[in-house]
Amino acid sequence: MFENLINKQPPRPRRGYHNGYPINSLMHSLYLTAEQVAELMLRRPDLRMGDNAGHVELAQLLMGNLEDQHVQELFQLIAQDQAGQAIVADDEFFGAYPPKGSIVYPDDFCALGTMPTGDRIGLIIGQLTGNVLLVGPTKSAKTSLLAVLLTFGNLLQTARIIVFVKKQELRHLATILHLHDLIIVFKLGELVLCYFEPPPGVPEPAWNNQTRITAQCYGRYSAQRLMGEKVAELMVNHPAGTYPTIRQPVNVLDAFKPRFGMREAAYKESITWCLKDLLNSTRVGGNSGASIWDNSSSTFLPELYSTQGLCIIEAEALPQEHLSFVATYFMRWLYLKRVYAGEEVL
């Protein structure tokens, strides 16, 4: 009775790794049609059937004679084996990797790992003109991967790389014999910055629009007009070679007394609190010391960007919003310098 029930049940196809044509169990002795063979070869990238020239030739042979039982069985065995490899890999991008041996690596290629196909994967120094994002959960080796990239001497010799870290987890790179001359490590308190001093060659009116950085990093878009007005007042008659510090707009804003009920009172309070907290969080030598921003002029960034290599800036106790502010300032400084110098902007 059970045997008869089993025979009456329609065969249930076994699903493959991705949606698409199901790979049926061979115990049913099903013959694949030409459309199904094409489906497995062309529309199932997770099977990677096209990577092997022998598989392609076998598919062509089967398409020519679909009644050949031996070719049918061999092709289905290979398709099932490929599906098993995809399942074991447990990789959403398994079907997207290029065929093994199909990649031509240039001289400036930096290998960071190995793909499931066995080929190397990495970055090309000459193509690092955009953004590279390393995403992953905690303890997924993001920092280790970054450390591998930063050990390539040809990369450090061709660019100035600045890394902001919250932990002392990259300074050990300076102990590598062939890299120690290319790496410098700063604690946050060792920075000497002048926020309102423009880069060499950049006009002051273009640089004075720096209130947008505070608006973007702290979300104070409504308050940037008020801050911009006070900064413009300070920049009108400043002595040559001497520029206002961030503390001076704070003092000017503190002295500003808007009329009761005006929105400027809320704008003043929000932007003043952010700037005061920034100054307090970047003090040198404790609560009574000055901030890294309390400088009327500085050659720190011109000197830093004039050479190649890796600069590691450790800011363990700095809140994330202030770290974003400092990093954005570094990038904006270099961007405008290159724009007005006519250099290629990366």
Residue 272 in domain: yes
pLDDT for 190: 94
Residue 141 in domain: no
pLDDT for 213: 87
246 Cβ neighbours under 8 A, 6+ residues apart: 195, 196, 275, 278, 279, 291, 293, 294
Identity of the amino acid at 182? L
- HEC states along 284-302? CCCCCCCECCCCCCCCHHH
Residue 261 in domain: yes
Element spanning 338, H or E = helix 320-341
Cα–Cα distance for residue pair 47/69, rounded to 1 Å: 22
For 282-306, what is each residue's pLDDT tens digit?
A: 998 766 679 999 999 999 999 999 9
28 Cβ neighbours under 8 A, 6+ residues apart: 11
In this prediction, the residues of the chain whose per-residue pLDDT falls under 70 are 1-29, 129-131, 261, 286-288, 343-346
Residue 160 in domain: no
pLDDT for 62: 92
pTM: 0.73
User: Which of 96, 117, 133 corresponds to the end of one domain?
Assistant: 96
Residue 14 backbone zone (phi > 0: left; psi -120 to 50: alpha; other: beta): beta
Residue 322 in domain: yes
pLDDT for 279: 94
Nearest to 304 by CA among 183, 141, 203: 183
Bridge partners of 283, per DSSP, are: 291
What is the domain range of residue 253? 204-297+316-341
Nearest to 255 by CA among 288, 275, 230: 230
Bridge partners of 314, per DSSP, are: 165, 187
Cα–Cα distance for residue pair 170/144, rounded to 1 Å: 9
- Please compute Rg for the chain using Cα positions: 31
Cα-Cα-Cα-Cα torsion 209, 211, 213, 216, nearest 10 degrees, comes to -120
pLDDT for 219: 86
Residue 241 backbone zone (phi > 0: left; psi -120 to 50: alpha; other: beta): left
How many CB atoms neighbour CB 97 within 10 A? 20
Residue 108 in domain: no
User: Which of 80, 96, 112 corresponds to the end of one domain?
Assistant: 96
Residue 208 in domain: yes
Q: In this structure, are 209 and 89 located in the same domain? A: no
Q: In this structure, are 217 and 90 located in the same domain? A: no
193 Cβ neighbours under 8 A, 6+ residues apart: 292, 293, 295, 298, 300, 301, 329
Contact 46, 18 (CB under 8 A): yes
Cα–Cα distance for residue pair 237/273, rounded to 1 Å: 26
Q: How many separate domains does the chain show?
A: 2
Query: Dihedral of CA 50/52/58/61: which sign?
Result: positive
pLDDT for 129: 67
164 Cβ neighbours under 8 A, 6+ residues apart: 313, 315, 323, 326, 327
User: Which of 96, 129, 146 corresponds to the end of one domain?
Assistant: 96
Residue 135 in domain: no
